[in-house]
Structure 1
Amino acid sequence: MTSVTWRFNKLITYKLIWLISLTVFFFTSYNFANWFTSTRNDVGSIVFEWERSIPLWPWSIIPYWSIDCMYGLAILLASSYRTLKILCFRLLSAQIICIACFLIFPLKYSFERPVLDGLSGLLFDILMGFDKPFNQAPSLHIPLLVILWQFYARYFRGIWRYILHIWCLLIGLSVLTTWQHHFFDIPTGLWVGCFCVWLWPDNHLSPITNDQLPKQYVWGSAYFLLFLLSFCSAIYFFSWALWLLWVSGAFLLVSLNYLLFGAAGFQKQTNGHFNLAVTILYLPYFIIMWVNSRLWTFKNNPTDLIIDNVYLGRIPSNKILQANQFTSIVDLCAELPITQFNGHYKLIPVLDMTPLTIEECQQAAETIEKYHKQGKLLVCCALGYSRSATAIIAWLLMTQRVTSLNEAIATVKLYRHSVVITAKQQLILLNWYSKITRRK
């Protein structure tokens, strides 16, 4: 047996093990949650009055059922053990989170479906043979759909990709039109699905493995308090205030980034963008931070020339990029995306309101020195006041354009007056500068 054949057979074995294990866990945990909730007397519903106008479409039971085939087929189609592992970890995480929610916050479907006949009636009868109206929020169908949709999108091109999108949209719609779930179950399921994609990213660098960063307790605690405030407000005011749960989820993730995961928790990509799942998770926070960046800088120039083709500024809009014709960008903002840019782009993500480390100062200075010789270079962060200013100060020191830290800060402030370099950041810069000076 050749090594290639052996690896192929090993992968097939892993697929079968995962498929059987996940199937057993799915039915065992799902049925247990159904049974346990059915024994309780305090099971309520979260339903809006307008939901009574949602039609029952018996035919939609077909796309509803089809996710089971997509589930098993996806595991068998995984092209490598790494792809298989990420897929199965996401599916397993979705199952665990949803089952936990079913047990902790039990809900039930409150509409009574009429008796149906024909093929649709048969499929409904089979479904109700093991499914009961208790496993509601988050709808397990939705996170599984998010995970599988992203998986299959990599395998389809052209018209088949459009067919996939249409069919997945029908699956998502079917949880309502089969009268299996109330609306509240849909956005909560979407959040769980995106969270599982975030938890097990395609680059195999899960944020939970990033445990060697300094903890930012002040900002971590501040965002945790915002999480508690928005979460409690959603529960207290209820009704449409439940959308605040989305805001609270974003604040909780940001808090965890400051306490545990660091800038990697935002998963900003090397092109300056965020994937769709991460965008959905953090969207309320992204909007707040974008508005904040504009409010703090509307009286200032978007960018300012410091020296030798090096500009300092906030995250640029497409209009600013077109007007200035930058050839390169060094981006130190972890929490905001950058518009489409076709020049040289380097991401050095740093959390807002946190100092650059010695390593980040070195990396930023070297990158600026590399790119500024090729044309106009923009060094940016959310405001262009601290993180990006620190990077330029480090570059001025490294290239000996100035002779002291105070002179470097004064040089940058001369052209961008609102620059703020904290005492902690200055101490890090001094320690870094002393190290590179000793090397020389």
Structure 2
Amino acid sequence: MNDDLKQRTMALVKALVVFGLAYPLTNAYTHALMSHTPTAVGTVASRYDVVPFVAWAIVPYSLSFVLFVLSFYVVSSAMLSRLLHRLVFGTLVACLCFYAYPLMFAYDRPVMSEQWRWSYELLSLVDKPYNQLPSLHACYALLFGVSLWHVVQGRWRGLYRVGLSLICVAIAGATLFTWQHHVADVVAGLGLAVAALVAERWLHALPHTTGRAMMKFITLGVLWFLGWAVVPVLAGYQGTAWAMMAKLMGMYGCLGLFSVAWLYAKPSWITILLAKETDKHHVGAFRPSAYGLGLPIIIIYQLMWRLAWACHFVCHDIGRRVIHTQAFTIMAIGHLPDDVLDELSQHAGRYRQVLWIDVCAEMASDFAHARLLADNEMATRWQYINLGVMDLQYFDDSIMNHIKALHDGIKQAGEPNTLIICQCAMGQSRSVAVMICLLALQQGICPHRLSVQDKEMMDSVLSSYGKHRAWRLLA
């Protein structure tokens, strides 16, 4: 599988995972409410709902599933992330609406012929007469139309756009003729699509990594809230103190993750909150204040790291990640378990000076533990430096100035027997980006102005690292 196809497939998987987690959860939530408290589930049926039931309308209705998959493989590479953000934003907002206003379709479908009955029975396995307003089908239809509008150019462009428009209108209209949605649902779905386009346009104006990071934490925040708020109801604890506590925990976590997302749009705030060491002690341990709104993200990154380590997504071989230069020795690592940390500490004992650069705001540093494990007989001087960088944070001038000042200090000290350890959560992006910056500065090159030849030279040096994500932070 080539890189482009892999990237498109990963984007599709992300969209499907978000949909597969959020949509069935709210469907099951409304179904549980119908069983316990039917009066809590309403309807938006109105006098405008005079659309007849048309059994074969399930054919254009089903085209939405086809377009959902196909769109990720036909849009341009530049449009891929925009399509993903549009669909994810629409899904998340819709599912929050489904939770806040549980609704169901007001009418029962009439008896239909055997020819179409199996289609609706299959539909009932993946969808229920809940999750009404806004209609995700209508929302997706408009998003597909806008995202796929420029796929075909040249002489067939006009015919293609007419066909695409007809398909998208048919998908939105089929939600009415299949008696899956009311008119108000479709109107709200189209309004949601417009909101998704506006929000995605704002995200697109930000640096690429910033927009990705914001969308990531918004998604985690919504899923965190829905999980805590819905699961107790599904377990039969509706209306109890346990359900209320779980909902409060969901709101707390959602607020914390949304706050992190907002920080990416305000990089100067990150510098104030993190680089000034207000979140960590001088040895890399979290201060009590960091466990306020930051607790959910700390928990999430601990779980992500444990999963990555268990699945060998994190490099276990410390020895092959060491890079030697005339001025210093440098390496990039992720969070480490005790046995590997002990190995690293013994290796660090060979050097007169160890500079531990903490590039991870979401996890406590291993610095204090590593220094404790080191051989006390060695005359190694350990120094902790907190850069205060968040996951996927773009390396702007503020961060670069910190790195340049660090490099100038190393150069002025003139101690060649120095080991620099750059640590982030997984050792794949932020820590590698800092390492690239220090290596570039050592060569007298500005990290933000690397030529193609410079990048090729860096890639040959960083042969054992996953560099692609690190380069994006510097682009």
Q: Same fold (TM over 0.5)?
A: no
Task: With a CA cutoff of 8 Å and minimum separation of 6, indicate the structure with the bigger relative contact order.
Answer: 2
TM-score by length of structure 2 reads 0.40
TM-score by length of structure 1 reads 0.43
